[in-house]
A = this chain, B = another copy of it.
Amino acid sequence: MNLRIDPASPEPIFEQIVFRVKNAVAQGELGGGDRLPSVRELARDLAINPNTVARAYETLEAAGVIVRRQGAGCFVSERGSGLATSERRRRLDELVDRLVTEGFHLGYGARELRDALSERLSANPLPSKRDA
């Protein structure tokens, strides 16, 4: 999975890990049932405190992305988050609004935003759709 973090980033370390894992799943690098590195192992590799990794894994479990099993390890979940359609849509709209607003202030117009999204989806196609 090639997990790296940037300790100098304003984004908390545990959130960086959370996003990297979500990203790996969304790119098909990790699939349902796959095992993640152990808390201690990843902490050693990233030279950070095990509690920080544990926090990231905890967040990922709360989001329905992974399951943690005592004595066994952490595994990519086979099931989705279980959110209601309305809630999912609300969050999607917020994500889109954020892209459009911030993108506009970076100087990008409607067409460039659409193209950027299309290019991203073509370059790294999503795995078969995940349940909500």
Using a CB–CB cutoff of 8 Å, the interface residues on chain A facing chain B are 7-10, 12, 19, 22-23, 25-26, 33, 61-65, 67-72, 75, 77-78, 80-88, 91-93, 95-110, 113-114, 116-118, 120-121, 124-126, 129-132
Cβ-closest chain B residue relative to A70? B12
Is A26's CB under 8 angstroms from B101's CB? Answer: yes
Is A120's CB under 8 angstroms from B103's CB? Answer: no
Q: List 20 A-B contacts (CB under 8 A).
A: A7-B69, A8-B33, A8-B69, A19-B101, A22-B101, A25-B105, A26-B100, A26-B104, A26-B105, A82-B83, A82-B87, A83-B106, A88-B107, A95-B99, A95-B103, A96-B120, A100-B124, A106-B132, A110-B121, A113-B121
